[in-house]
């Protein structure tokens, strides 16, 4: 499966069926402070398990950082 994530094309050996599965593959250890948008629509964390991912989707993953 080929997905566009943060303006980069990424290949996955298996089909990614939903947002949570995508995050488990991309950033398995850090999933707090994450925001996901698909096709310019923010996906609430409560919908990550049910929101499907398709090859035509434009996916944006934003991670909060600390700084000062």
Q: pLDDT 10s digit of each residue in the chain, 68 long? A: 899 999 999 998 888 899 999 999 888 887 788 999 999 999 999 999 999 999 989 999 998 877 65
pTM: 0.85
Q: Which two tokens stand for residue 34?
A: 């994450």
Please name every residue paired with 42 in a beta bridge, in sequence order, or none if there are none: 37
59: Cβ contacts below 8 Å, ≥ 6 apart: 3, 4, 5, 6, 22, 36, 37, 38, 53
- The arrangement of secondary structure in 2-63, i.e. its CATH architecture, is Roll (3.10)
Nearest to 33 by CA among 41, 23, 18, 25: 23
Taking a C-beta distance cutoff of 8 angstroms, is the pair 61, 26 a contact? yes
């Amino acid at each position: 499966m080929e997905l566009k994530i943060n303006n980069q094309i990424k290949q996955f050996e298996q089909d990614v069926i939903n947002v949570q599965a995508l995050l488990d593959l991309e950033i398995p250890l850090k999933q707090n402070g994450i925001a996901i948008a698909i096709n310019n629509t923010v996906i609430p964390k409560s919908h990550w398990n049910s929101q499907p991912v398709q090859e035509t989707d434009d996916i944006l993953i934003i991670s909060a950082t600390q700084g000062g």
